[in-house]
Chain A
Amino acid sequence: EADIYQTPRYLVIGTGKKITLECSQTMGHDKMYWYQQDPGMELHLIHYSYGVNSTEKGDLSSESTVSRIRTEHFPLTLESARPSHTSQYLCASSSIGQTSSGSGGYTFGSGTRLTVV
């Protein structure tokens, strides 16, 4: 069972549209992340958050923005979608300092596959 939820699973949208990808987790994790992944390729961190009102850009430059108003919610927004944004977006969470319990690592959502036409 997933404890981190991403919606929608699939999205096809026209160029120039504003979209928000939703990510919510029920584990009370402090840290949350957004990764961009082309099919079958490596993960690229685009945003992360230590906690409420904390957001940071990741290793890969992205035109998207994020917000963290509530611990459990970490939405990603594209103000104006372009075909180059076509990709899979994975949300993940972890707890600061957690290693011995649970997986000790990240918990991933099922991803949102975005296609911009």
Chain B
Amino acid sequence: AQSVAQPEDQVNVAEGNPLTVKCTYSVSGNPYLFWYVQYPNRGLQFLLKYITGDNLVKGSYGFEAEFNKSQTSFHLKKPSALVSDSALYFCAVRLPHLYGQNFVFGPGTRLSVLP
């Protein structure tokens, strides 16, 4: 079955330290990978995507993610965390077929950046 896992419900990091939010996936074919961020009482906002090409993709707000095909992972990273990065982060996979419910979200990881 197609699935996306975010193994950590919660990640705590001190401001200024690097952060990593983990994502692994289990899908057939070559998926497209996304990260979204959700601030309190808001919808999800697009952060970055991997479609093809360079395994390291850069996105909004200084975030980047590294695609690792052999480990089927797409971890989100930032070199220096800010308190304002505290939010809920969702990894998502878009399956290569065009029709049907082709977007699968992970369960989300809550990031808390401590001052």
Residue of A nearest to B6 (CB): A42
Chain A residues near B92: list those with CB within 8 A: 105-106
Instruction: State whether B43 touches A108 (Cβ < 8 A).
Output: yes
A99 lies within 8 A of B101 (CB): no
Interface size class of B (residues with CB under 8 A): 20 to 34
A40 in the interface (beta carbon within 8 A): yes
Q: 8 Å CB contacts to B: which residues of A60-117?
A: 90-92, 94, 96-97, 99-100, 103-111, 113
Are A106 and B49 interface neighbours, CB within 8 A?
no
- Decide: B101 and A106 in contact? CB cutoff 8 A: no
Residues of A within 8 A of B99 (CB): 50, 96
Residue among A42, A48, A107, A109 having the largest count of chain B Cβ atoms under 10 Å: A42
Residue pair A94, B103 in contact (C-beta under 8 Å): yes
Q: Once the chains bind, are A104 and B49 in contact (CB under 8 Å)? A: yes
Q: Give Cα A64–Cα B90 distance, bound, in whole angstroms.
A: 25
> Taking the complex as formed, is B70 at the interface, i.e. its CB lies under 8 A from any CB of chain A?
no
Can you list 11 A-B contacts with CB-CB less than 8 angstroms, sorted by A residue number? Answer: A42-B105, A50-B99, A96-B98, A99-B51, A99-B94, A103-B49, A104-B32, A108-B45, A109-B43, A111-B43, A113-B41
Residues of chain B at the chain A interface (Cβ within 8 Å): 32, 34, 36, 41-46, 49, 51, 88, 90, 92, 94, 98-99, 101, 103, 105-108, 110
